[in-house]
Each structure stands twice: as C-alpha cells, then as structure tokens.
Amino acid sequence: MNNSKKQRVYTKEFKEEAIKLAMKSVSYAQVAKNLDIPLGTLYGWLEKVKKPSSPDFKTDNLISSKALLEENKR
C-alpha cells in the first residue's frame, strides 16, 4: 500500500488571500484550520512575504499585508 500523502497545490490568489486573512486574525492556527491548510504551510507563506524578492507572491499586492505583519509582531 502507498501511504504517501498527495501534495496539494495552491493558487497564488489563494495564498495571497490566506496571508491577508492571517494578517487580520489573532490566530494563525484558526486561519489555517478554517482554510484546511497545514499551519506550517501558512507560516511558510508568511515568511515569504517578509522577503521582498520572493517570486511566489505579488509583493505590490502584499505591501500593506507586510506592514500589518510587522505591526502585529510589536
């Protein structure tokens, strides 16, 4: 039997929306649960937002999200 998990593929739009939701939320875990994605996956996307050279996301759409992330860390 094959016990390997199938890797899910997410669209850029889905990732961007997940990041925006996480920025507005008090709980990243709740956002991940609501979107049915692993928490580690969401954290990975949030880390990529911090790096402006990341080709995975449209940084111009996420500039305000990045600012929110920084503000939430304070």
HEC string of the chain equals CCCCCCCCCCCHHHHHHHHHHHHHCCCHHHHHHHHCCCHHHHHHHHHHHHCCCCCCCCHHHHHHHHHHHHHHHC
Q: Is residue 17 part of a domain?
A: yes
Residue range(s) defining the domain that contains residue 41: 12-73
The answer to whether position 5 is within a domain reads: no
Confirm whether 2 is domain-assigned.
no
Q: Is residue 29 part of a domain?
A: yes
53 occurs within a structural domain: yes
Residue 47 lies in a domain: yes
Residue 36 lies in a domain: yes
Number of domains into which the chain is organized: 1
The verdict on residue 6 lying in a domain is: no
Where the chain has pLDDT below 50, the residues are 74
